[in-house]
Amino acid sequence: MVSKTIKVSNENYLWLLRLAAEIQKQHHKPVSFDNVIGNLRENKMEKKKLSDMAGSWKMSEKEAEEIKKIMIGLRKKSTRDLLENDIYRF
């Protein structure tokens, strides 16, 4: 295998170290940066379907009601702003 030297910022280096640690925990074996980068490449190449996200965001009835109230309030405000600024001209 040919090896190359690349420069990365300290922030990216620490990020790669964290990823390597996570992968090492999953596979219970040492992991190189090459393994980490290969893993990232493979994951990026996978096509994701929208249906894969189904059920990933769950909210309570209370949260849904809060969001609904906020949306209704914003809609009323935007309508009021349009009327006050005489935007509705027919």
Is 54 domain-assigned? no
Is 55 domain-assigned? no
My answer on whether 35 and 12 are in the same domain is: yes
Q: Using pLDDT thresholds of 50, 70 and 90, give the confidence band for residue 20.
A: very high
My answer on whether 39 and 65 are in the same domain is: no
Is 73 domain-assigned? yes
* 61-85 pLDDT tens trace: 999 999 999 999 999 988 888 888 7
Higher-pLDDT residue of 13, 59: 13
Q: CA 28, CA 57: separation in Å to the nearest integer? A: 30
Range of the domain at 75: 60-90
Number of domains in the chain: 2
- Judge if pTM exceeds 0.95: no
Is 68 domain-assigned? yes
Is 53 domain-assigned? no
Is 83 domain-assigned? yes
* 29-65 pLDDT tens trace: 999 989 999 888 887 766 677 777 777 778 889 999 9
User: Exposed/middle/buried for 36, CB within 10 Å: 0-12, 13-18, 19+?
Assistant: buried
- Which runs of consecutive H residues, i.e. helices, occur in the chain? 10-27, 33-45, 61-84
Is 20 domain-assigned? yes
Is 70 domain-assigned? yes
**Owner of token pair 């965001």:** 57
CA distances to 8, 13, 62, 82 from 32, rounded to whole Å, are 15, 12, 46, 58
